[in-house]
Structure 1
Amino acid sequence: MHRRESTAPFRDGFTWYRVTEPDEPRDLAPLFVLHGGPGMAHDYVRALEALADLTGRTVVHYDQIGCGRSSHHPDAPVEHWTPALFVDEFHALRAHLGIDEYHVLGQSWGGMLGAEIAVRQPDGILSLLICNSPASMPLWTSEAARLRAELPVAAREALDRHETDGTIDHPDYLAATQVFYERHVCRVVPTPQDFVDSEAQMLDDPTVYHTMNGPNEFHVVGTLRDWSVVDRLEQVLSPTLVVAGEFDEATPATWQPFVDRIPNVRSHVFPGASHCVHLEQPREFLRVVADFLADHP
């Protein structure tokens, strides 16, 4: 594989990106990888660059504006951080790279962003891969509450107590959060370094994550709390793959609308995996993605 990194201008800042090209390239449209969060940077999905040599196509990673190696804007007003901002950023980067036909793979929030891109029916989108993503945040928070109710009593009580007291930075609250994460976010122990790196940069500047999501995966109090793409999914015309893990915080109830409403869609559940299937079962994840892409070259 051959990699090159640079930045592309976007509004009053810039987007950092990495282009990974295969050793034996084929005449195939590139794949854009959209990371989660919002604000978690690309590090934890970095390993998907392996799709370059596996499929013979170029793979593009980038850090969305406000996080990672892209420009940070901690003083931007709350209303600045919208899904439309990130849709515009995607197309600005695509145009900068001169890519007219492409595939989109989004993980977690990245899948939500991928859906926002696809419902607008842009020219050139060949397929959409939605990985571990909900079709609406009300569905997500409802299912998160159900999963949270299944945690050990001590963890549940710590979460409830510190959220009520407003002390969500307390060590006991953070420890209880980790119990949820090890069940439903990433079941690999110790946590893979790529995930640690993404989380560390988010904690260093949590502007985007805290503004749009909230303090953690199940206490969603940010601007995305009412977000939904459910009533627009019939507008997704590109072939779509929806994947999730058996123990995913993105439960079947959260992604079923994708399957029910997107006209050309298939789904796959990875047994024994949770939210970060690509870190827990990397070979199987890459195989499923590569097989889907092979059907839509």
Structure 2
Amino acid sequence: MFQLEMAKFINFKSNIKHLPKRIILIRHGQSSANLDRNVYANTPDHKIPLTPHGIDQAREAGRKLLDLANNISDHGNPPNCSSNAYFYVSPYERAKSTLREIIRAFPRHRVVGVREECRLREKDYGCFQHKSESVDPMAGWDKIEEDCEKYGRFFYRFPNGESGADVYNSVSSFVETLWRDIDMKRLYNDPSSVELNVVIVSHEETILIFLMRWFHWSTEQFESLKGPKNCEIRVLELGSSGEYSLAVQHDDETMKEWGLSDEMIEDQNQRAIAKPREYVSNEKNPRYLNSFFDSIDTDDGSHQQDADQNN
């Protein structure tokens, strides 16, 4: 029995050996449009630059990321193990400028790759693209925001733009590419001696939808989320379960401030501390399953009304 358990553990360790230690999400620094939304009327969204303060934010974020990358785990790594970074970045100028400032903090040999990724772009808020000399292009924005709040951020499609659901499709395609890059070991120089940090530099809504897609959160759970501030860092780190979790680097109070419910936080904590192969994913959790049923049949065939009022 002991030998069987050891064999399972060794197989588990070999399966996660080539996984990045962390997947780090960071929003771009402060842009000129973050200070004055009228900038959208005269500048294409993808060309909006960082402010001087945004540049400072990005440089500080680079120092924080390097400190994080230097925090090498000791689980089975050789003494000469180092921690490198591979970057994916949105093609928008404010995101690429943020990345350029972040990388200033890293020694060149620690950056193993950079890829511009169109699927990490900002959601298209196309309502700004039809300017008229006689009409203030921003005049209807307050009404649009009100409609979005009523309809729901995920499904509301901005005039001539995109909905959260549209972004979800793009992000889902990117996640598949990310997993393929990981499985093919395209992100490593030497997987045997290097811990890898995958860093994604993107935008507020795109980061939230990435988290939604990664953790299989529902549309209802998404609506409660609060986006990251400029250059805020959110870290998904491998837990003892072999799953990525926000709870390794962030405490419950922080996750609650981000809009995660108690159930979502519990799931993150289980991802962080569960034993290998004992983690029960969110969509298989009985409390989550029960929320889809007014009543369900128990194993003995009896009828459980209202799923015990969702526990």
TM-score by length of structure 1 reads 0.30
Q: Which has the larger radius of gyration?
A: 2
